[in-house]
């Protein structure tokens, strides 16, 4: 091989190396684009699930219930599991609240801790009845309430039970 042939051979090898590098760069670029598209699709699906299914993200800025109610909403099976010694539990349907009772509860129990239980929630159906409530319940197993009921719990015992608008407004202190 003479000198000129060596140069031509070296030139061919350089062109081959450049083509190999370009194809590797294109492949890496394509992989990055695919990864970005997959991440964008994942983010869109996550956002859609968060808004429409789990409702973790609320796009509606209006509050349907008061902030206090939302932060103190519990399930009926956890009424005896609260950290305070004395507190009240207000059972009512969150979708059709009686404003007279709600006003009475807020005004007369403003210095007390109040927890709210949604009687319309399917998870509370074992404790909510249309009639035949148990005013003398001593445990969760005995508990049967109707809509619009307030229970006072003192040291994990029911000490007061008010049911219906008249009973609540007349007896609530």
Report which listed range, 29-33, 71-75, 79-83, is most confident.
29-33
pTM of the model: 0.58
pLDDT tens-digit map of 8-48 = 777 776 665 555 567 778 888 999 999 999 999 999 999 98
3-state secondary structure of 90: strand
Is 5 exposed, middle or buried, given 0-12, 13-18 or 19+ CB atoms closer than 10 A?
Answer: exposed
Question: Which among 143, 103, 90, 96 is positioned nearest to 120, based on CA atoms?
Answer: 96
């Amino acid at each position: 091989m003479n000198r000129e042939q060596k140069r031509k051979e070296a030139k061919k090898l350089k062109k081959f190396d450049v083509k190999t590098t370009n194809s590797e760069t294109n492949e890496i670029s394509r992989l990055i684009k695919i990864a970005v598209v997959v991440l964008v699709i994942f983010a869109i699906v996550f956002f859609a699930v968060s808004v429409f299914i789990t409702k973790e993200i609320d796009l509606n800025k209006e509050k349907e219930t008061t902030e206090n109610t939302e932060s103190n909403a519990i399930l009926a099976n956890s009424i005896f599991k609260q950290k305070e010694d004395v507190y009240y539990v207000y059972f009512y349907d969150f979708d059709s609240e009686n404003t007279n009772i709600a006003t009475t509860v807020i005004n007369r129990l403003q210095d007390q801790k109040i927890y709210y239980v949604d009687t319309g929630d399917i998870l509370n159906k074992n404790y909510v009845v249309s009639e035949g409530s148990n005013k003398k319940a001593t445990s969760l197993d005995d508990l049967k309430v109707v809509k619009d009921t307030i229970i006072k719990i003192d040291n994990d015992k029911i000490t007061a039970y008010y049911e219906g608008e008249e009973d609540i407004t007349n007896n609530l202190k």
